[in-house]
Amino acid sequence: MLYLVGLGLADETDITVKGLEIVRKAERVYLEAYTSILLVDKDKLEAFYGRDVSMADREAVESFSDGILAGADKVDVAFLVVGDPFCATTHTDLVLRARTLNIPTKTIPNASILSAIGATGLQLYNFGQTVSMVFFTDTWKPSSFYDRIAENRRIGLHTLVLLDIKVKEQSLENLARGRRVFEPPRYMTVAQCARQMLEIESSRREGVYGQDSLAVGVARIGAGDQKLVAGTLTQLCEADLGPPLQSLVLLGRRTHDLEREFMAEFAVDLQVFNEVWARDYEGKQ
């Protein structure tokens, strides 16, 4: 059996009891290490699980999955995923490959950012499409996320923005020269995301959001030191939420007073927050 085991969002103790039992009896254990990260080192996982854990980077999963699947029709293999296993399409592809080899699969769900974002106080059934924000370069500033946010905004829904992480990435020069030299890991911050969003708005000029649009930044959600900050995009451009991982939510106009009351607790500037809410969000649909 190939088991896809969700690990939750924060540390080694977030795994479910069912997932832990599977990990402890599996013949081999892999940790997917590129779509997200846990907030603890692999050593802590191994100590808690009582098992050796092999790291599986993007290349191993997408190009050399045969090694992960080898023998999984005869023994149990555990593939560990931060959050919930099916929050990344890569893992759907792994299951499809297993099926072609007649390897049975089973999924052990866990908390993901898609559900944990409810910690902001925003009601989950008022979220629209989730989008991703990548690191811009001098020559590459993709804006496809803007169109998805515009669709959400037209029907008043909130937008969860997932922020880019770069783990075991090669520079264009090293890639072109075939050198397996990797860049240091990089994790986008809420401030970087807010600045890039305003940069795209200034070029698209379609009024989907602006400097005074309300948003919520979250960091290390589910951990003991999680941090939440609510304010305008301009304010969030200067917000320091500390270490990764971080995400951002743009507020839709379909809001409720309970959401405002909940978010007021972590507003950058409560007076500004209440003024913008009353002007642009209260009673709007």
Q: Which residues define the annotated binding site for S-adenosyl-L-methionine?
A: 9, 84, 112-113, 163, 246
The answer to whether the beta carbons of residues 208 and 194 sit under 8 Å apart is no
d(CA 109, CA 107): 6
What b/e readout covers 77-89, taking b as 16+ CB neighbours within 10 angstroms? Answer: bbbbbbbbbbbbe
d(CA 191, CA 174): 29
Total length of the chain: 285
Q: Helix, strand, coil % (nearest 5) of the chain? A: 40, 20, 40
H or E element that contains 217: strand 214-219
Provide the annotated binding site: 9, 84, 112-113, 163, 246
Backbone angles phi, psi at 55, to 5 degrees: -80, 135
The answer to whether the beta carbons of residues 227 and 264 sit under 8 Å apart is no
What b/e readout covers 146-169, taking b as 16+ CB neighbours within 10 angstroms? Answer: bebbeebbeebbbbbbbbebebeb
Using CB atoms within 10 A of its CB, is residue 189 exposed (0-12), middle (13-18) or buried (19+)?
A: buried
The answer to whether the beta carbons of residues 67 and 60 sit under 8 Å apart is yes
The string of DSSP letters for 53-83 reads -EEE-HHHHHT-HHHHHTTTTTS-EEEEESB
Centre a 10 Å sphere on the Cβ of residue 113 and count the other Cβ atoms it contains: 20
Q: Is omega for the bond preceding 245 within 30 degrees of 0, making it cis?
A: yes
